[in-house]
Each structure stands twice: as C-alpha cells, then as structure tokens.
Structure 1
C-alpha cells in the first residue's frame, strides 16, 4: 500500500471519503435542470459545497453570471478541473422509468451534466485534500463552466483569459463505456438567420407581401442541396425557431432559423459556414426579403494530448471499472428490453468494439489509442488549444442509451451513474496528482501542445461583439 499523500491509493481513499456528498449534489442538480446561461441554482449548489471545502470563489468569470472558479492552494503547478451543469430543453423525465413519462416539455439532463459537474468537483476536492495534508505546493482550480450544450461557455471564458495560466486541465463525460478520450472532435459555428419581409393578407393581396417564411424554407432547401457538395466529414443542422406566427392567412413578415455547422477544424467550419451564408443571401434575394446573420456560439476542435492521456489510462486501469451490482444490471436489462432498439445498441458500439453489443453495462476498459473521430462538438476544445487537456469517459448508463434523449435522463440519478461518476473523479484526481509529483509530465504535455499548434495563439470562434449576456447568444 502506497502512503504518499499524492499516491493513487491515497487519492482513491480521499474520493471514497466524500463520494456520498457529491453523489447527493449530482442528484440535486438532476432534480433542478437549467438551460444554458441560466444555471443559477446549480451554480449556487456547487459554490456552497466548494466554499465549505475551503476553496476561494471567483464569480462572474468572463462576465458570465453562471461561470465561476473555485481555487485552493498556492504556486505551481496550476491544475484545472472542468465542470459543467447545463441541461437540455424538452427532456423532463422521471427517474427509473422504462418509457417516456413526462409531457410537460421542461428541461432535463439528457447528457448527464448533473454528474459531470459533481464528479469534477469531487476530483478537485480530493486533490485539494491531498495537497493540504502535507502542505504541498500547487494550485487546484475547479472551473464551473456553463452552457456547454448550446452556448459554448468555455469559449467565452477562454476569450477572457480564464485558462491562460493553467499547466494542465482535466475533465470527463458520462458515457456508456470506460475509456480515455483519444479522439478529436468537430469544430462548430452556431448562428441565427433572421429574415424580414412584409406582411399582407394572404387572400386579398398576397402580391403585396414578402414572405420571410418562404425565405427560411428556400434556405433550408438550398442547404440540403449543398450537402452532396460539401466535405463528407462536415455536418450542418438546423431548426426553425420562429415560423412567423400561426395564422395561415397572413404573409409572414418575420421568421428565424438556427444553424449549426461542424467540421474537423475551425477553418473548415468557417468555409462551410460561408457557403451557408451565401445560400441565405440567395433565399433573401429570391423572396425580396432581407436577412441578418448573427453567430451565437462557437466551439474549437479538441487537440488531444498523448502525454496526459497515457498517464490517465494507466490510472484508470489501476483503479478498475465500476463495480456494478445485480440491481444495476436488472434495471439496465429492463431498459434495454423495453426502450432501446437493436439500432441504438449498434450505434453505441460500432465505432469502438462491435463485440460489446451483447453487454448490458460496460465493466471493463476500451484500449488506448483508437484513431476514430468524434463527429460531435464540445467547448472543451477551446480549452485544449490553450493548455494541455485530457478527459475520460466512464460507464454511467446502459450500453445502447442514446444521448440527448429521455432514456439517458431516467438513468441520471441511479446508483450505476454514481459509480461511473466516482470512477471519473478518481481517474482525474490521480492523474492531476501524478502531474504534481512528476513535473516532467507537464513539460512533455506542453511541448506536445506547442508542436500541435505550431505556436499559433488560440483564436476564439465567437465574435468579440457577442457577449454571453447578449440576447443574440441565448440558446436556440
């Protein structure tokens, strides 16, 4: 048994000592889901816990009311652990259900961010306790990061310099597998397209009207025709957020849509987005309307870091997978039987290990070093361009669980989810502790990041004239 205060055994012991408190925190956040930039109660819960633990709190980071930093210790290295707590709209769901059980349309934690924020806080507290025990030099920071889902909160925080003096950053995400993330992600640009026309009576004098809704529909058709002629690894998604009203006998004078454009790096995403803008301008020209384009959020692609990932994987392997019990398996089996299709399960495993399709919960580890690419996007990418960053995924949900869906929400406060969260806290805290014990890890990680960026400074994908409090930046 190791007795070094920063050893894996000691970190695991410290996580276990406070795990129940942070599982309870995750359940409180699960029960009070809040949308992007509106996570005031969730932030208050996290701050209260971390203040009680002795952290110094800085609020309104980057001029965002729901962004904060909790800090403990002094000097170098400075370790950041990233937390999130925002929910998604229209996913309200009761716990432990095997069928949709809410029609109220309220928000729900369809990506497990109730677990994410609490698990990262648990890791920060365990690392803090280890440093305090022997008065070891170093600084631990928990970053309360809002609006990951649709607002790109970390991009705003990065633009404000919140991560500039970090030596390393760690994070995690609830998942259906246990693995260290080695995949890059898509960069993304979110924008609002607002069309303005002229109202008219649709029967008496339609020729006097200029339909903004027609412009929206023509834009969507144009973008859909573009799909054949854009890179195969790019993605374009849209939603009509304002159809101009509910009266069919009125020519709609105003309509609005939201678009998300993704590509493997920011420059490629900007090129595809430029083509989308031209299509919008063409739709306005065809309908004699005007269009205003406003970028509302942006995400950089993730730069992975082998130096940190290797250490993280070794710690995950040594800690061991979640110890799921019979009750965990029974509920997961029932959910699989009733609410998950064969297609759900296949989609869950095909990019990793198809042989896992017959498993119910993941009780092992995926190997390190896959070259697969994650088509999704996250503002963790913005942090990774500034400081060496590593993250892990841990099994919190049944294999086959679709994300951003009620099937995930219903599992988000169950014991199986807590077990995955606790594993993540142990892995992040022990990897951060290794960086403090062995500064050479950070040296290698920084050298790798410099090589990846070629010395290019971080460029925030969100324009300077858009601020988190601006109505233009609200979640769409």
Structure 2
C-alpha cells in the first residue's frame, strides 16, 4: 500500500469524527481569544486520540499544543479556529440569512482549517505508531489569527525553537500548494483625550478628540503617495466620543492596520503613522496615546517542502463531486457580482473561468509554479515561517469566485465538498510530514533553504515584550 493510500485510509476511517468536530466549531463561531468551546473540543479530541495536551501556552487562554511521539524530528501542524464578527449566516442557505443579527460566523473557514490540520496530526500519529518510527508530531492550537496574532505570541515565546518543519493550509476556491510571501503588519489603537464643552454656547472651552482622529486620518491618507506600492494602511474609527453633536467630544479612538512587505518597512511606516497622530494632537491641543495590539512578519515560502506537498496533492486529486454539491455551488456563484466574477476569472484565466462558471467547484490541482507570488494581506503563519521551514496548501472548500470574509463563505461551511476539501488538505499535509520524518535529508535541505532566504536576517518579534494576550475568561463566564 502506498503512502497516499495508507493516509487516505486512516483519515477516511475517521471522516465522521472530523466532519462532526468541524461542524460543531462552525456552530460555536467564537472570535479572537474567546474560542473557549472550540479549543476545548479540539483538546478533548486530541486527548481521546492519544495526544498529551498542554493548554494556555504563550499566555494564550485558548492556545494549546497536542503532542505525540518521542525524539526528532519534531513536526508542527498549525490549526486555527476563530470566527469573524458580523458574519452570522445560516448554513446551506442560498441567500443572505443571518442566524442572529450582527452575530459571528466562520467567514474565513477556520472551522475547516483547524480540523483539516487535526486530521493530518492524527494520521501522522497513527503512522508513527503503526510503523514504530521515532519522531514527534505536534498540533498547535492557534487562536486569534484574524485579529490578535496568536502564532506571533507563540513564536515570540520560543515555542517553535525545537521544531524541524511546520505545515498549515487554508480554505480557498482552488487546490494548490502556496509559494508566496505576504505583507508584514502592525495593528495599533490610537486614543485621543480632549475636553468637553457645550458646542453651541462655549465651543472655545472645548478641545475635540474627534477632530484629532479626523486630522490624523487625513495626515495618514496623504502618506499614501509616499510609501512603497505594496504597502497598505487601513483604519476604523472605533469610538467617536458620543452621539450628541452639541457636545465637544472629549475622547475618541481609531484603530489602524499598517502593512508592508518587510518588517523594517512596516516599522518605518508605523512610526510615520504615530507622527501623524502626534501632529493631530498638537493641532487640536489634545493628548494622544497608542497601543500596539498585535503584529506579524512577512511569510517565508519553502520550495523544498512545497514540491513534496505538490506531489502528494497530485496523487490524491480532488474527490468526486455529487450533483447536489454542484447545484449548491452554482447557487453560490449566482450570488456574486459581475465584478467579483471577473476578478476570479483573472486569477484562473479565461478558459478555466468559463468552465468553472458552469461547474463552479475547482476539482483539479493547480500546477506548481516555482515563481514566488505576493499577497497583500497578512498571516501570523509568517512568524512560524521565520523560525522553521514552513509549507502550506489551499483547497476548494468554496465555490469558484467566493470572496473571503463574506456570508457566502459561512453558508458553505458545512457542505460536503467543503468537508472533502478539508480532508484533502489533511491528507496532503500528513503525507508531506511523513516524507520529512522518513527522509532527514529533506529536512536539512528545507532548513538550508530557509537560512539562504533569510540571508543573515534573524527573527525579532514585532510585538513589544510588554504586550500580553488579553484575558477573556471572566467575560466568557
């Protein structure tokens, strides 16, 4: 029996377990640092499958590590399970239909992500056990990827120092091995404090914190002409200081995400944003304070591991699709705007886009390209990739063209094809991990590549040492 056949057999024998855990996490839909039920379910599943579990790692209440085996090599498999606020949606619905108004929803598929990674870890564990192989497999339960950067806290605290190689994946609309880098990011809050007054009777006695927020935003917007093309800066006003226009706002707050391709570039941009905030405070005679909420580095790809993962993905292929799956995917595709459809078509080419418009689930494996691509978003997997060779794949959990962070993603979170794609990712990761365990030269080659790519740079977390993850247990109770 080949490796792919063996791993497929192991994972398929536990399909009902994996789909049940994924669907339960979909129901929990817990956001950053509050994933208590999701984390507990994953921990209990790991324990029942023979893993030892350490909870509360790196100060993260919902962070944990499940471990099995002894000695080297040490394989890390990364799992996520956080949802997004404001994306509540009925599963299986063909139109926007929230379960609860402004409720949470798995709009990035992390209910699938965490369990696909779980299936890989369990498959590697069973393979090690059955073949009496030395080595350790660890499942890293990583909270708050969407906003909070759980893996960055783990990396800062050295939890990957003894790991040899790491693997992850992400839900998507195609099946492919990732070979890309990304933007680094710093997330920070800026608070302004002024003086309230009657805006009609005595405005001269007031100092508007909201004016300071507006002036800061204007200053940052003027920066956009003078930064590298790949950089991104986004903001949201999180506290306007009240709802009464006849009261000068004594406090106001804005939160910022600052992105750039390299850590030193994002640090420089962040300092310029801070200067804009200082200038706004001076102009309005208010006081300003800022706090970094989180950050992550840019992603470092590893061609050595990616080639092996690609080979295994091709051997598996995508599972056969049922008529009901195709019908539902067509309904999802029909909800997209023409602009969204055209954007998706550009990514796959005209011929493939025409095919997928008729049958909108990508049931093929994208050929591997040795050319490194760039994604303008960010991921805290990046901080792992600076410390250990890391490979990732994506699989077709959603209909072609489905935009990330939308109700359509949530609606598809329990579909049969989503489960199939989730387990395809688990199988590909498990096979790649076992290939690394059985081939020490592969691990050494991956480590050499990482050293060469970094070219003398070393990892230094962008999160300040004094920043600790928030404690949410009391709020949860």
TM-score range, shorter chain: over 0.9
Runs of 4+ residues deviating >6 angstroms: none
- 1:332 maps to 2:329: yes
Correspondences of 1:26-425 after superposition (within 5 Å) = 26-102=22-98, 104-337=101-334, 339-358=335-354, 359=356, 360-369=360-369, 370-425=371-426
Structure 1 residue 9 displacement after superposition: 1.7
Offset at residue 268 of structure 1 (A): 0.9
Shift of 1:349: 4.1
Of residues 346-355 and 123-132 in structure 1, the stretch that sits farther from structure 2 once superposed is 346-355
CA RMSD of aligned residues (A): 1.4
Partner SS state of residue 416, structure 1: helix
Give CA-to-partner distance per residue, 1:438-459, whole Å, 9 cap, x none: 1111010000111112343311
SS of structure 2 residue aligned to 1:31: helix
Work out the CA distance in 2 between the residues paired with 1:345 and 1:18: 36
CA distance in 2, matches of 1:222, 1:356: 44
Deviation string 1:388-434 (CA, Å, 9 cap, x unpaired) is: 00000000000111111111111111111101101000000000010
Q: Deviations over 1:351-390 (max 9, x none)?
A: 4544332201101121212432111100000000000000
Shift in Å, 1:348: 2.7
SS of the residue 1:89 aligns to: coil
Match of 2:463 in 1: 462
**Which residue does the alignment assign to 1:8?**
4
Report if aligned partners of 1:181, 1:392 keep a CA contact under 8 Å in 2: yes
Which whole-Å CA distance do the structure 2 matches of 1:72 and 1:453 have between them? 31
After superposition, the Cα gap between the structure-2 partners of 1:354 and 1:258, relative to the gap in structure 1 and judged at 3 Å, is farther
**Separation (CA, whole Å) in 1 of partners of 2:420 and 2:306:** 22
SS at match of 1:57: strand
Contact 1:189-1:297 at 8 Å conserved across structures: yes
Question: Does the 8 A contact of 1:15 with 1:122 survive in 2?
Answer: yes
Residues 349 and 357, structure 1, Cα contact 8 Å, conserved in 2 = yes
Q: Which runs of 5+ in 1 are unaligned?
A: none
Q: Does 1:445 align with 2:446?
A: yes
Q: Is the 8 A contact 1:322 1:395 kept in 2?
A: no
Judge which range, 146-155 or 227-236, deviates more.
227-236
Distance 1:299 1:280 in 2: 22
Decide whether the 8 Å contact of 2:61 with 2:471 is kept in 1: no
Q: How far is 1:23 from its partner?
A: 1.0
Decide whether the 8 Å contact of 1:324 with 1:419 is kept in 2. Answer: no
Classify the secondary structure of the residue corresponding to 2:189.
strand
TM-score, normalised relative to structure 1: 0.96
